Amino acid sequence: MSAAIEVSNLAKVFGGLRAVDDVTLHVAPGERRALIGPNGAGKTTLFHCVTGTLLASSGQVRLFGHDVTHLPDYRRTELGMGRTFQITNVFTELSLAEKSRSLDHRHRPAQVDYAPATFGVPGHPRAGARRA
């Protein structure tokens, strides 16, 4: 079985600073990995390069065997790559199912409908809805 995500010799350079240097990892479907290190070690930069928020200076990123190294983040999302950000309490009014659907590109139009309810826009059918 091929890796869900495969990173080979990935590097990201900002001027003279090598924020990510020659990272290689394989994540099998269903597998979880932890990336730990001190502040400034390059963890977030690595995630940005893997997900396409930043393009890597060198190396390769593959998603289920397909080279996505030069694709922007929205194309990687369309191909099935998702991520969460460090701030996890942005949409506190949404259920887990609604949050999960918002990550699925097939449900993007519905995601627009969540924002007015989340921010309490008067007149929206879910404006007064509360979750337990």
Q: List all residues 6 or more positions away from 82 whose beta carbon is below 8 Å from its beta carbon.
A: 103
- pLDDT above 90 covers what percent of the chain? 45
- CA–CA distance from 34 to each of 16, 31, 50, 116, 126 (Å)? 28, 10, 14, 35, 37
Domain ranges of the chain: 5-78, 84-132
Selected residue with higher pLDDT from 127 and 26: 26
Architecture of domain 5-78: 3-Layer(aba) Sandwich (3.40)
By mean pLDDT, which of 9-23, 24-38, 75-89, 108-122 is the weakest? 108-122
What would the mean pLDDT of 24-47 be, rounded to a whole number?
Answer: 90
The answer to whether 91 and 74 have CB atoms below 8 angstroms apart is no
Where residue 32 falls (left for φ over 0; alpha for ψ -120 to 50; beta otherwise) is: beta
Structure tokens at 19: 């924020």
Interior angle at CA 68, CA 90 and CA 83, nearest 5: 15
Q: List all residues 6 or more positions away from 64 whose beta carbon is below 8 Å from its beta carbon.
A: 2, 3, 4, 29, 79, 80
| Helices 96-103 and 108-118, packing angle to 10 deg | 140
Confidence of residue 131 (pLDDT cuts 50, 70, 90): very low
